[in-house]
Amino acid sequence: MTALSIWRWVVRRLLLAFLVVCGMTILTFVLIHAAPGDPIYVLAGDGGTPSYYADMRAKYGLDRSVADQFVRYANAVGRADFGYSFMYQAPVTRVLGQHAPASLLLGVTALLIATVGGVGIGILTASRPHGVLDRVVRNVNVVAFSAPVFWTGQILIIVVAVQLRLLPAGGITSARDDLTGIAFVVDVARHLVLPAITLAMPFMAVVSGVSRAAVVDALSEPYILAASARGVPRRVLIWKHAAAIAAVPIVALVGEHAASVVAGGALTEALFGWPGLGYLVLHASLHRDYPLVTASFIVISSSVVLANAVTDLLCARLDPRIMLA
Amino acid sequence: MPIIEVWATIRPVRAFNSAILATALIVIAACRQNREIAQPVTLVVSLTGDPGPLNPAVTTSGNTHPVTDQIFNGLVGLDESLQPVPELAESWRIEDSGRVYRFVLRKDVSWHDGRAFTSADVKFTFEEALLKYHSRTRAALTDLVSAIETPGPHEVVFRLKRPYGPLLQRLDVVEASIIPKHAFVGEDLLSGAPTRRPIGTGPFKFVSYAPADRVVLEKNASYFRRGLPGVDRLVFRIMPNAATSVAALEQGEIDYVGSVAGPDLERLRHTQGIAVVAGSGGSGGSICQDVLIPNLSRPPLGDVRVRRAIMAALDRPFVVDRVYFGQGRPATGPISHLLAWAYTPDVRQYPHDTAVAERWLDEAGLRRARGGERFAVTFTHANTQQRFAQAVREQLKGVGVTVNLQTLDFNAAVDRVFVKKDFDLGMASYCNGADPDIGVRRVYVSSNIGPLPFSNGAGYHNDRVDRLFDEAAELVDRESRRARYAQIQRILADEVPYFWIIDSEGLRAHRTAFEGFRLWTGALAETVHVTGQSR
C-alpha cells in the first residue's frame, strides 16, 4: 500500500470519526433532555418553593429552551469547554479526569485477562477438538457469556470475599488504612482481582470461542496439512503457524471490543464500588447531570471510534490480504 | 475452654445456661474484636453515592449531609425524643409568645482553622445560605423571619413576623448547619473553595475526598465537647451497591451501613460481631412514612367511599412483614407513631377486611362487571418499589380493582406524579421530620398543591385542616399543639387523602466492635467509640 493511500485512509477515518462523535453528542444531548425528571430537584433538594426552583433553574441555565441550550453547549465544546457538572460543582473535564484512571486500570486488566486467557483456552481446546476439555469449556463458556455481571460479581463477592476472606469485597483501596508505596500497589491489585475477573468473563468466553474456531480453521489449511505431512510436530504447527493466521480474527475481535470493555464496565463498577467512568455515567444519568452525561458519552464514543481505527490498521499489518478502504 | 467448664458446673435451668453462654460468647467476641482495632482508631461508614460539594447550608442531599453533619454543628441538637438540646447555642429564651427567639452562643467554639465562632457566622449562614439555597429552610422561614440581629458576638436574636412554635426543631445540623463567614468571603456558596475543603466547628475535620471512592475525616482535638469524638479517623466509603456494602461489613472492611436490604437481614442477625439496630432518623430525613398517593382530581379515587374501601382492602401488616421485612409498623394516619408526642391512635382505623371493602365499593356504585372487574387504575412507581407495587396489585385484584403497573426510574416517577400530575396512584416516602410542621404539613395543606416534588401530591384541599395546621404552628405550648394535631389526624383518617402504609423504621447494621451510634440525628458518629472503652 502506498503512503498516499494510507493518508487518504487516515483523513477519511478522521472525518468519519468526527461525524460519529457529533452524532453521538446530539443523540445523547437529546435523549438525556427528553428523559422525564428535572435535574433541579436532585440538584436543589426537596421541599422548596416554586420561586426557589425557578431561581435555581436560571442559575444553571436550565430555564432556556433545549435548542438554545444545545447551541450554547456546542459552542462551548468547540472551545474545548465541556461544561460544569451539576453533581460535583466542578468542571466536567476535571471530574472525568478523576474517574478515567480507575476505569483504564480495570478495563485494560480485564481485557488482558480476557485476551490472554481466552486465546490460551482457545488454542488448548482447538488442539483436541471435541475432546473432554473442549466440551467442558464450551459449556462453561455458555454460562460465562450469558450470566449477567452483577450475578457473577455477587457470587464472587460472597464466595471469595465473604466466605473465604481471600480478597476485599469492594472499593479500590482499603478504607481503613492509608497505604503508600509498594503496599499501596499490592492493595490496589487485591481490590482489582474480583472486578477484573467479573468484567473479563463474558468477553473471555467469546475470545476463547473465536480463537478455537480460528485455530481449528487454520489447522485445516493445505499448507499446514503439508507441513504436518513433512513431520513438523503438532505443537509447533499450532503455536507457531496456525496461531499466526488465527491472530487476525482475534485482533479484530479484541480491538472492536476494547473500548467498550474499558468504558462499558458501569454495572461492574457500580457493584464493586469501583470509582471509574462507568459508575460515573450511571450515577450522572440517574441524577440527570446533563453536562456530565453528554461529555462522558463524547469520551466513550471517541475512544470506540479510535480503537476501531487502530484495529483496522493492525489487521492490515498482520494480513497483507486485508485492504484499507 | 473455660466456657465449657462454666457450662458444666452451673446447670440449674437450661434457659439460664443459654443466657450465660450467650453473654460469655458476646464478651469473648467483643474482646477479640477490640484487640483487632488498630491505633489510630478508624471508623468506616458506607455511603451510597458521592456527596458532591460539601456545603450543608445549601443542600438537603441525602449523600452530602451524612458527611457534613459530622463536620458542622447546628445552633441546637436534638435528643432521642427530638427535643432541642444546646449545641452551638448554650441557652435560649422564647419571648413575645413565640415571635422572638434569643440565643446565647457558646464562647469556647472555634472553627477548624482556629478562628473563633461568633454570631456573625450565624447571621451570615442564614441570610446568605440557608434562606437562599436550603430548599426546606428557605421554604419555611423566608416569609417568617423579619430580622436576624446580633447584639453581641455571642448573642443572636431571631425576630419573626408571627409566632412560630417549631423553630428550634428546624435549627439542628441537618436543617441548619452553621458555616464560617470568613471562609466564604469572595467565594461562591455552591462551588467555592470551602465546599471542597470544608471548615466546620464539628467533631471531625476534613482531610480528603476522592470522588466515587472515599471521604476521610479526622478527630477535631479541640472540639468544644471535651472527650469527643471517640474515634481518631472517620472514613466514608462510597459503595453504591447495598449488597456489596453488607458483604464488606461482614468482612470487616466497613463498620456501619445505613440500610440493610431485607434478604440480608436474617443472615446478618446471626452473624457474630454484627449488630442489627432500628433507627428512624438521620441525615437523609427522619421518621418517614411510605404512602400510596391517590390522584383526588380523578374518579373514582376522588370519592372518599372508594378510598376507604381501598384502605380496608390493603393488607398492610402483610406488606410490612413481607415487602419491608418488618422494618416498621403499619401506619394508622398522617403522623408516624415514632413522632410520639404528636401521634394519636384514636382515629378511624381500617383493619384489613376484603368483605367490608367489597361492600363499600358496591355502595359507591362500583359494582363488579361480568369479568369481575370494578375499575382499573394505573400505579406509577419507581423501579425500587416493584415488590410493593406487585403486592398492591394482588391485594386490590381481590376486591375487583385492576392495578396496571407503570415502573419508571426514580426521577421519572417523581416527575410524572408530582410535576406532571399524570397518574392515578403514585407513591412516596414522606418524612415527618422532627416536628409535624416540618414534614407533615406540606403533604396536606392546600397551599402546597403545585408542580413540586413531595408536595401535596394527592391535591387534597380542606380549609379546616389548613387552619388547624396554621394554628398548631403558631403555638409554642406543646399540649395545645398536640390537641390541634390530634384533630387533624382524626379528620384525615376519616377522609383518607392518602393510603398510609408503613411508619418506617429502617434497620442499620454495625460491627459490635463499636458502640455509641446516634441513629436519630445527623451527628451519627460524634459519640461512637470502641466497645467497652468508656469515654
How do residues B381-407 score in pLDDT, each as one tens digit? 998 899 999 999 999 999 999 999 999
Can you tell me the distance from the alpha carbon of B435 to that of B444, in angstroms, rounded to the nearest whole number?
A: 15
Cβ–Cβ of A286/B42 closer than 8 Å? no
A195 near A279, Cβ under 8 Å?
Answer: no
Strand ranges for B334-489 from DSSP E: 375-382, 401-408, 425-431
Fill in the amino acid letter for B76: V
**pLDDT, tens digit (0-9, with 9 covering 90-100), for A160-178:** 998 888 999 988 988 888 8
- Shortest Cα–Cα distance, B229 to chain A (Å): 17
Residues in B closer than 8 angstroms to A176, CB to CB, are: 38, 42, 44, 235, 253
For residue B418, what is the nearest residue in chain A, using CA coordinates?
A37
Across the interface, which of A89, A162, A273 has its CB nearest the CB of B240? A273
- The answer to whether residues B257 and B246 touch, using CB atoms and an 8 Å cutoff, is yes
What is the model's pLDDT at position B33? 44
- Is the Cα torsion angle A50, A52, A57, A58 positive or negative in sign? positive
Closest Cβ opposite residue A48 in set B42, B138, B210: B138
Q: With an 8 Å Cβ cutoff, are A90 and B251 in contact?
A: no
Q: Which residue has the cell 391485594?
A: B395
Mean pLDDT of chain B: 89
pLDDT attached to residue B7: 36
Looking at residue B3, its pLDDT comes to 38
| pLDDT for position A176 | 84
pLDDT at A258: 81
Structure confidence at residue B164 (pLDDT): 95
Which residue among B136, B210, B248 places its CB closest to the CB of A170?
A: B248
Q: What does the DSSP 8-state code read for residue B446?
A: G
What is the C-alpha to C-alpha distance for residues B71 and B67, in angstroms, rounded to an integer?
A: 7
Q: Are B71 and B262 in contact (CB under 8 A)?
A: no
Question: Which chain B residue lies closest to A165 (C-alpha atoms)?
Answer: B251
Query: Which positions in chain B touch A37 (Cβ < 8 Å)?
Result: 409-412, 414-415
Contact (Cβ atoms closer than 8 angstroms) between residue B526 and residue B203: yes
ipTM associated with this complex: 0.84
Cell 451510634 sits on residue: B517
- B-chain residues near A98 (CB < 8 A): 210-212
The pLDDT, as a whole number, for residue B66 is 93
Q: Answer yes or no: is pLDDT of B23 > 60.
A: no
- Confidence at residue A70, expressed as pLDDT on a 0 to 100 scale: 87
d(C-alpha A25, C-alpha B364), whole Å:
54
Q: Could you tell me the three cell numbers for A97?
A: 479526569
What is the mean predicted confidence (pLDDT) over B169-174? 93
Quick: pLDDT tens for B24-77: 444 444 444 444 577 889 999 999 888 989 999 988 888 899 999 999 999 999
Report how far residue B104's alpha carbon sits from residue B126's, in angstroms, rounded to the nearest whole number: 16
Average pLDDT of the residues in B255-281: 88
Nearest chain B CA: its distance from A3 CA (Å):
46
Q: Give the residue among A184, A183, A161, A123 at the shortest CA–CA distance from A273.
A: A161
Q: Which helix (H) or strand (E) holds B487?
A: helix B478-495
Q: Which pLDDT belongs to residue B22?
A: 52
Mean pLDDT along residues A22-30:
87
**For a pLDDT cut of 70, what percent of chain B falls above it?**
93
What pLDDT score was predicted for residue A221? Answer: 84
What is the average pLDDT across A289-315?
Answer: 84
The band of A325, judged by pLDDT with boundaries at 50, 70 and 90, is low
Residue B442 in this model has a pLDDT that exceeds 80: yes
Give the tens place of pLDDT for each residue, A201-238.
Answer: 999 999 999 999 988 888 888 888 888 888 888 888 88
Reported confidence tier of residue B355, pLDDT bands at 50, 70, 90: very high
Instruction: Kindly identify which residue of chain B lies nearest to residue A84, measuring between CA atoms.
Output: B191
Which strand ranges, in their side-by-side order, compose the sheet holding B499-504?
B328-330, B499-504, B288-294, B425-431, B375-382, B401-408
Q: Spell out the alpha helix ranges (H) of B232-322.
A: 242-251, 262-269, 304-313, 316-318
Residue with cell 485476551: A115
Which grid cell is A320? 497483507
DSSP characters for B128-141?
IIIHHH-HHHHHHH
The confidence score (pLDDT) of residue B62 equals 83
**Nearest residue of B to residue A89 by CA position?**
B191
Does B167 score more than 90 pLDDT? yes
- What residues have CB less than 8 Å from A48, skipping those under 6 apart? A56, B135, B136, B138, B139, B452
Return the beta strands (E) in B334-447 as ranges. 375-382, 401-408, 425-431
Give the gap in angstroms from C-alpha A63 to the nearest C-alpha of chain B: 16
Q: Is B50 helix (H, G, I), strand (E, B) or coil?
A: coil
Cβ-proximal residues to B22 (8 Å cutoff; 6+ apart), any chain: none
How many Å apart are CA B167 and CA B153, to the nearest integer? 22
B267 with B243: CB under 8 angstroms? Answer: no
β-strands B84-86, B89-95: how paired?
Answer: unpaired
Express each pLDDT in B450-479 by its tens digit.
888 888 999 999 999 999 999 999 999 989
Residue A1 confidence class, pLDDT cut points 50, 70, 90: low
Looking at the DSSP assignment, which residues form a beta bridge with residue B329? Answer: B503
Q: Collapsing DSSP states into helix, strand and coil, what is residue B425?
A: strand
Which of A52, A162, A176 is the best substitution to test chain B (most B C-beta atoms within 10 A)? Answer: A176
Closest CA to B84 of B163, B169, B170: B169
Instruction: Say yes or no to pLDDT of A186 above 50.
Output: yes
Please measure the distance between the N-terminal and C-terminal CA atoms of chain B and give it in whole angstroms: 32
The rounded distance, in Å, linking the Cα atoms of B112 and B220 is: 7
Fill in the amino acid letter for A128: R
Bridge partners of B204, per DSSP, are B219
- pLDDT the model gives residue B17: 47
Q: Is B350:B344 a contact under the CB 8 Å cutoff?
A: no
Using CA atoms, how far apart are residues B235 and B71, in angstroms rounded to an integer? 12
Take residue B298 and report the three cell numbers written for it. 380523578
Report the range of poorest mean pLDDT among A19-33, A245-259, B15-29.
B15-29
- Give the chain B residue nearest A272 (alpha carbons): B244
Confidence (pLDDT) at B35? 44
Please give the interface size between A and B, counted as residue pairs whose CB atoms are below 8 Å apart. 164
| Preferred mutation among B36, B46, B50 to probe A, highest tally of A CBs within 10 A | B50
Predicted pLDDT at B280: 80
Q: Report phi then psi at A280, rounded to 5.
A: -65, -45
CA atoms A60, A66, A67, A71: torsion sign:
positive
Interface contact flag, B251 A273, Cβ < 8 Å:
no
d(CA B530, CA A120): 51
Q: What is the pLDDT of residues A75-128, one digit of tens each?
A: 888 888 888 888 888 899 999 998 989 998 999 999 999 999 999 999 889 888
The confidence score (pLDDT) of residue B322 equals: 92
Residue B250 to residue B126: CA distance in whole angstroms: 42
pLDDT mean across residues, chain A: 85
* B454–A157 C-beta distance less than 8 A: no
Interface contact A88-B52, CB threshold 8 A: yes
Query: What's the confidence (pLDDT) of residue B98?
Result: 92
In which element (H, E) is residue A282 found?
A: helix A277-286
A232-236, A291-295, B114-118: lowest mean pLDDT where? A232-236
Residue B171 pLDDT: 95
Burial class of residue B367 (count of CB atoms within 10 Å of its CB; 0-12, 13-18, 19+)? exposed
Q: Which domains does chain A have, with CATH numbers?
A: 3-90 (no CATH), 94-318 (1.10.3720.10)
Number of neighbouring beta carbons within 10 Å of residue A282: 17
